[in-house]
Structure 1
Amino acid sequence: MVMSIDGSTVVEGRSTLLSNPSDRDVLVALRSAADTIVVGAGTVREQMYEAPSKKGLRVGIVTRTGKMDLNTDLFKSGAGFLIMPEDTKAPETNFKLDIVRAGRGSVDLPVAMSQLPGSFIQLEGGALLNASMFAANLVDEINLTISPMVTGADSPRLANGAPPLHSDYEVAHILEDAGFMFIRYLRKN
């Protein structure tokens, strides 16, 4: 995750404007270690997600409605799959689309995450999905880049809409490059 000094996770609707080459290198390294990527549908639409470069890495898109543009490389490559409620109608496609079903009316995140392969699930936002994952106590580790930028905008934060939480994390690593801070936090409790 990347955010500005004042906590914004996007500039002009995109997180990439907060990033730098070192941040992108960290993201690539995390993705290369991940078993699965999980991201919210809105973030996929806004950030124009593509298929990961790591062969076999899957991207699970959390969606309540299933309304996604499936005619993208992410889905046609077989890398993208949907994570959606059991009572939501599956989108029609002319190719095989994997769907993880959990919950009714909204995605039951603990149940959905338990169905995903591997032990390292890379959460890539957005803010609403982050908030839901924090609320469900599903975030064990946070890899956070702080960009040396103040946006001043009323924009999404790391976990918009989260209920009051008290989850303690401890710093595992801090690195700095060109004013960018790379911090790895591990959950304490």
Structure 2
Amino acid sequence: MRRLDDPTVPGQVLGGSDLHELYAYPPDLTEPWVRTNFVSSLDGAVAVDGRSGGLGTPADKVVFGLLRELADVIVVGAGTARTENYGGARTSNSLRERRTAAGLSAVPPIAVVTASGNLDPGMRLFTDTVVPPVVFTSGAVPEEKRRTLADAGADVRVIADGDIGGEAIVAAVARAGWNRVLCEGGPRLFGRMIADGVVDDLCLTWAPLLAAGSADRIAHSPASAVTEMRRTHLVCDDDGTILTRWVRDTATD
């Protein structure tokens, strides 16, 4: 991978430590920093045949793993967890050592946002993980359904009375002591978080392909919600993959 936007070293070849520096969270965080990560086709599709995996490239997979390595918690909407068949975060001994050396837990938990509580206790989220998944849910979900998820191994946390907005999610991760937040979608959760003004950081990959179809864009909400962003880097891989990072103008990078 090469960095394209550094005038001091044009076309700089990036190593692992360079990528860590480019994607590092701001130092000394005292409140949650909400980062989102998406991959898109050149024509704006967020998935191929319903799944984002069809857009993955080697460079995107490297950054995907790095972003998980740097995060306290991985937040995902229930629809994406079901569609992508989410399991727990994958780890290795070296990864655990790097995380603990950085003051993080050995394995980042997956926190699923669901206002309905409609999660199958048999899905990989519960059966293929080394740490219990967290379920952010609503007080409107019947106690029996919440108990079923808890019995399946989830750490069930009621974070709102009904609808779950971005502010409720940020408050929940703050109570948990998680400041390095990575949101992996989906588009409706991302759109809601944009609308609620809680997105600090977007890591966006453009895969070098056209997808057509009827897939969503990376963010979807009932109304427009403009958030000014500034680019922090632009990286290209030899296969044409473009990797970018953007932060809110009002956020401190």
Give the counterpart letter for 1:119 in structure 2: N
Using structure 2 for the length normalisation, give the TM-score.
0.71
Deviates more, 1:10-19 or 1:80-89: 80-89
Partner in structure 1 of residue 244 of structure 2: 183
Matches within 5 A, 1:23-38: 23-38=60-75
Per-residue CA distance 1:14-44 (angstroms, 9 max, x = gap):
1011111110110000000000011011101
**Corresponding residue of 2:11:** none
| 1:2 correspondence with 2:39 | yes
How far apart are 1:162 and its partner, in Å?
4.9
Partner of 1:114: 171
Q: Output the CA distance in 1 between the equivalents of 2:226 and 2:148.
A: 41
Q: What are the residue-to-residue correspondences of 1:42-57 with 2, within 5 Å?
A: 42-54=79-91, 55-57=106-108
CA distance in structure 2 between the partners assigned to 1:85 and 1:122 by the alignment:
21
Give the superposition deviation at 1:161: 2.1
Gaps of 5+ in 2: 1-37, 92-105
Indicate the RMSD between aligned Cα atoms, in angstroms.
1.6
What is the Cα deviation at residue 79 of structure 1?
3.4
Contact 1:127/1:157 (<8 A) preserved: yes
CA distance in 2 between counterparts of 1:14 and 1:2 reads: 11
Q: 1:82 aligns with which of 135, 139, 151?
A: 135
Aligned to 1:64: 115
Q: Compare the two structures and name the one with the higher helix fraction.
A: 2
The structure with more radius of gyration: 2
| Structure 1 unpaired stretches of 5+ | none
Q: Deviations over 1:116-152 (max 9, x none)?
A: 1321110101110010011111110000000111112
Identify the structure with bigger relative contact order (alpha carbons < 8 Å, sequence gap 6+): 2
The alignment-based identity, stated in percent, is 27
Which of 195, 198, 202 pairs up with 1:135? 195
Contact 2:88 2:133 in 1 (8 A): yes
State whether residues 145 and 180 of structure 1, in contact with CA within 8 Å, keep that contact through their aligned partners in structure 2: yes
Report the TM-score, using the length of structure 1 for normalisation: 0.93
Aligned residues: 189
Task: Tell me the CA shift for residue 3 of structure 1.
Answer: 0.3
Point out the more displaced range, 29-38 or 64-73. Answer: 64-73
1:92 paired residue number: 148
- Which residue is 2:53 aligned to? 16
